[in-house]
Amino acid sequence: MVYSKNIAIVLSFVCLWLASLLTSTLETILGFVLILSFGILHGSNDLLLFDKLALFNKRFSKLGILMGYIAVVAIVFVFFYILPLLALALFIIFSAYHFGEQHWEHFKLDGAYALKSLFYLSYGLFILFLLFIFNKPEVIGIIDTIANFKIPPGFIDWAFVTTGLSFIISAVYLGLRNKVLVLNSINEMLYLLVFSVIFKISSLIWGFAIYFVLWHSLPSLYDQINFVYQKFNRKSLLDYIKNAIPYWLVSVIAILVFYYFFNAIDVFYALFFSFLAAVTFPHSVTISKMFRKMNK
pLDDT of residue 76: 76
pLDDT one-digit tens code per residue, 234-247 = 999 999 998 888 87
pTM given for the model: 0.89
Angle between helices 84-104 and 62-82 (to 10 degrees): 130
Are the C-beta atoms of residues 293 and 105 closer than 8 Å to each other?
no
pLDDT band at residue 262 under the 50/70/90 scheme: low
- Mean pLDDT of the chain, nearest integer: 85
- End-to-end, the C-alpha distance of the chain in Å comes to 20
What CA–CA distance (Å, rounded) separates 160 from 199? 14
Q: pLDDT category, 208, cuts 50, 70, 90?
A: very high
* pLDDT tens-digit map of 57-78: 555 666 666 677 677 777 777 7
- How far, in Å, CA of 228 to CA of 124, rounded? 26
Does the pLDDT value for residue 1 go beyond 60?
A: no
How confident is the model at residue 32, as a pLDDT?
86
pLDDT above 90 for 120: yes
Query: CA 263, 247, 270 angle in degrees (round to 5)?
Result: 30
At 149, the pLDDT band (50, 70, 90 cuts) reads confident
Contacts of 233-238 spanning 24+ positions with Cβ under 8 A: none
Cβ–Cβ < 8 Å for 247, 45: yes
